[in-house]
A and B are shown apart, each in its own frame.
Chain A
Amino acid sequence: MENIIEIKGLVKNYDGFSLKEVGFCLPKGSVMGFIGQNGAGKSTTIKAILNLIKTDGGSVTVFGKDSVKDEEAIKEQIGVVFDEPCFHDVLNANQINKVFKGIYKEWSEEAFFGYMKRFELPLKRKFKDFSRGMKMKMQIAVALSHNAKLLIMDEPTSGLDPVVRNEVLDVFMEYLLDGERSILISSHITVDLEKIADYVTFIDKGRIFMSDNKDNVLDNHRIIKCGKSDIDKIDSGDIAGKRENEFGVEVLIKSNIDRYSDMTLDRATLDEIILFYVKGNHPSPAGHPSKEGNL
């Protein structure tokens, strides 16, 4: 399968933080959920893909081209959404349309105003007077209006209410319908990713610890709830993480699920999987992983 993004051995060093040999691929026509805690390295990786930072090693190719040498050609085909407002406060939708018409070769006014109507965004109101949800929708409308083959989004749904988040996710699903387009979406709201992602990549402390098809990840992990004495029955090689509480132990199994069919096996969510991997070897004060979908 053709890869839209290929990252190999990406290294970036900052004081107190570094990306360590980050590598993953985004296949064409799919959605990759990029999951990690705040400060895990998601945004840094995205910046490296977009050539917003100089890297200290490794390579990034997008559409098979070098992300630095072929920057302009690549960016013509990328739509970007950040978690913070990007447009000038004084601009309104009509002006934003004119600005981007002068930037992208394939800018479609029809598509842009179509999204304006669909998102119920006013055309004459200034950007500064928009709510956070409206600002996010405006960014998404711009990202989708120049026939981009790839959407790169850094926490696009953070701070949005569930209704708007659902609306936005529906738009992303429609965007993917022709099978030619791909999305890389970083988020710590894993319930969103469970809805739309085909692949998931987990990052923690600047290191990728899992990158696979989402269904494989979910199918290959189970949570066993058992007493503390029963934990010896589980092969330590199968354990991804465990959490002790006053009632017993919760263990995340990452392989040989069938071997434990006599025990109570629960499907794990993406949220639980990352929690067990990242924090799973320490007792949780609350006793349970978050059930709200937020890390």
Chain B
Amino acid sequence: MKRFAVQDHELVPEHILLTPEEAQQVLEQYGVEARYLPKIHVTDPVAEEIGAKVGDIIKIKRKSPTAKESIFYRLVID
């Protein structure tokens, strides 16, 4: 069985795992605590693929039909 990267699928936007410093910067920029961000499960296929752990923040570069590209953040939860 061949393996294929979930992130290659056309429905899946690019997910980027943020370093703790970058994550802190994002939270300061928006003035929110991490728990108020939208969530993603640690068992999510893409989260598993990029090796995210509970508490990490994932930056998602969505392809938007209106803005072409939009940035979204999700907090990894279990």
A and B found bound together: no
